[in-house]
Amino acid sequence: MWSGDWGLVSRRPEPSVDELVTRVTAGDVRSASKLIRLIDDGRPEAWAGLKQLFPHTGAAPSPVVPFWVTASA
């Protein structure tokens, strides 16, 4: 009969919110999803991270989408 030890799988420590913000500003999508998960879970430190990211937003060009308004008679 087998009597071995299953062993414990060590988990990587979760990165801090500051580390996630640094990674998000570097373009890491996985870190962005982790930060979004923390926000969704209602973690207050995640909102602080979101506040840190806010100054980095708003630089994207606004797409100009032409549209025409037509009236039916």
Q: 34: domain range?
A: 17-56
Phi, psi of 17 (to 5 degrees): -60, -40
Residue 67 inside a domain? The answer is no
Is the pLDDT score of 62 beyond 70?
A: no
User: Can you give the pLDDT at residue 64?
Assistant: 63
Residue 25 inside a domain? The answer is yes
User: Can you give the pLDDT at residue 53?
Assistant: 87
Query: How many separate domains does the chain show?
Result: 1
Compute the Cα dihedral for 37, 40, 44, 49 and give only its sign.
Answer: positive
Residue range 12-54, pLDDT digits in tens: 788 899 999 999 999 999 999 999 999 899 888 888 888 888 8
User: Can you give the pLDDT at residue 72?
Assistant: 61
Residue 43 inside a domain? The answer is yes
Q: Is the pTM of this model over 0.85?
A: no
User: Can you give the pLDDT at residue 51?
Assistant: 87
Residue 52 inside a domain? The answer is yes
CA 57 vs CA 9, 35, 47: distances in Å: 38, 16, 15
Residue 1 inside a domain? The answer is no
Residue 46 inside a domain? The answer is yes
Residue 64 inside a domain? The answer is no
Residue 32 inside a domain? The answer is yes
The tokens for 57 are: 């937003």
